[in-house]
Amino acid sequence: MTDKKICPICNKRRAERYCPAKDEQICAIDCGTEREVTIDCPSDCPHLIAAHRWEQSHPKPLAENEIPFPEVSFSSDIVRTRETVLSELGYTVAIYAKEQRSLVDSDVFAAVKALAETRRTLISGIYYEKLPEIPVAAGLYAALTKYIEEEKKREAEHPEVPAMKETEIFHLLVFFVRFARLRSNGRPRTRAFLNFLRSQFPVEAGMAQEESRIILP
């Protein structure tokens, strides 16, 4: 009689599902409960892809305490008039994620929220900067800051184009992090939003930047 392999995570159930992150068989229940929590799942795992597909087809509204900057409101017009800037923010994140494989969605949230807080201080006239504590998130913060400053410089060289105000930048960052949170699933190691960005911006070596393809809600 062939011995039944037991799941190495729970040490109880039969191991019937291959886990590429652990390179061994685990049980289906632990695959579902530990996926993107204690298991750092690779983006090409078929079980992860199927789970993300199901989540996107059955979206759940965010609880009020999960909405970034719930006290902030702004006109939806800014999303349409500055769609290119939102697309560039997404492209910047995708490029950075390609070089920093450890980056997860929560790092993106931390970086963008910190940057939004910094831009809010500029609106008040008292500049204060507090970088994310996690190094990979701080690196993304720096990359996004560089893009914004370069965009402002380009606008200054073309006075015929309406320049972005600091209030607009703040609101765009708030919208971006809200959108990112909606495209994610809240698990600590998930890259659901990053995978979405990769599908919008295939940043393979030598590939030129494409036009905006971010699907806005």
Token pair, residue 130, equals 């507090």
- 149 vs 212, more confident: 149
Instruction: Give the pLDDT mean for 126-152.
Output: 95
Average pLDDT over residues 166-186: 95
**Residue 121, amino acid:** T
**58-66 LR contacts (CB < 8 Å, sep 24+):** 59/182, 62/181, 62/182, 66/181, 66/186
Taking alpha carbons only, the member of 111, 86, 118 closest to residue 97 is 111
Q: Tell me the one-letter amino acid at 169.
A: I
Both tokens of 148, joined, read 């914004």
Q: Supply the pLDDT for residue 210.
A: 45
pLDDT of residue 209: 46
Has this prediction a pTM greater than 0.75? Answer: yes
- Report how far apart, in Å, the C-alpha atoms of 55 and of each of 48, 184, 185, 195, 213 are: 10, 9, 8, 13, 21
Query: Considering the chain, what is the average pLDDT of its residues?
Result: 90
Query: Residue 2: is its pLDDT beyond 60?
Result: no
Tens digits of per-residue pLDDT, 64-87? 888 999 999 999 999 999 999 999
Query: Considering only 101-105, 128-132, 151-155, 200-204, which range has the smallest mean pLDDT?
Result: 200-204
Domain ranges of the chain: 1-66, 68-217
Neighbour-count burial of 127, counting CB atoms closer than 10 A to its CB (0-12 exposed, 13-18 middle, 19+ buried): exposed
DSSP state of 66: G
Residue 139 pLDDT greater than 90, yes or no? yes
**pLDDT score at 3:** 65
pLDDT (mean) for 96-116: 96
Query: What is the model's pLDDT at position 203?
Result: 64
The pLDDT, as a whole number, for residue 205 is: 41
Average pLDDT over residues 161-167: 87
Residue range 4-59, pLDDT digits in tens: 799 999 999 999 999 999 999 999 999 999 999 999 999 999 999 999 999 999 98
